[in-house]
């Protein structure tokens, strides 16, 4: 019959995992310190009368993506955690401006489901300004 070898100090493991989890807290923010975001183009609408576009991106910070998805030298056999997601909405934009800033050749390439690495600068009022939202709580723009 096997003897019980002792008990594991669960408080030691709990402390270890709590400290490990704290290391990821720096990436759980909506505002990127580099102003760069991985952007998923989730909605493209064109007003056929005015020929202007409204586009909507779902974003997560480049720092989160680099830390969670792009780093590491081994393959992990589990899904990554859900990223802290924000949104960026541009209204009434010319197709030529959108194509130029996104590096696209034609309006046919402006497709929902595409990924981009974009830079957003707070307070910028350039050709492609828009509204930055926390879609979980904001009814009005988070940052303009």
pLDDT at 82 over 80: no
- Spell out the residues 6+ positions from residue 124 whose beta carbon is closer than 8 angstroms to its own: none
| Per-residue model confidence (pLDDT) at position 144 | 45
Q: Burial level of 55, CB count in 10 A (0-12/13-18/19+)?
A: buried
- In order of 66, 83, 99, the CA distances from 69 in angstroms are 6, 10, 27
User: What's the pLDDT band for 116 if we cut at 50, 70, 90?
Assistant: very high
Classify 51 as helix, strand or coil: coil
**Predicted local distance difference test score (pLDDT) of residue 23:** 58
Residue 12 region, left (φ>0) first, then alpha (ψ -120 to 50), else beta?
Answer: alpha
Please report, in angstroms and rounded to a whole number, the separation of the first and last CA atoms in the chain.
70
pLDDT at 143 over 60: no
To 5 degrees, how large is the angle CA 40–CA 42–CA 43? 140
Better-predicted residue by pLDDT, 24 or 77? 77
Residue 17: pLDDT above 90?
no
């Amino acid at each position: 019959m096997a003897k019980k070898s002792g008990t594991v100090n669960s408080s030691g493991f709990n402390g270890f995992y709590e400290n490990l989890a704290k290391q990821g807290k720096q990436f759980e923010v909506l505002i990127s310190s580099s102003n760069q975001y991985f952007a998923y183009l989730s909605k493209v609408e064109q007003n056929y009368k005015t020929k202007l576009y409204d586009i909507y991106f779902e974003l997560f910070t480049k720092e989160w993506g680099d830390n969670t998805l792009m780093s590491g030298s081994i393959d992990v056999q589990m899904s990554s955690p859900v990223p802290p997601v924000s949104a960026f909405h541009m209204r009434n934009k010319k197709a030529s401006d959108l194509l130029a800033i996104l590096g696209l050749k034609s309006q046919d390439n402006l497709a929902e489901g595409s990924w981009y690495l974009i830079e957003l600068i707070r307070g910028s009022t350039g050709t492609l300004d828009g509204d930055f939202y926390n879609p979980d709580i904001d009814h009005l723009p988070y940052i303009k």
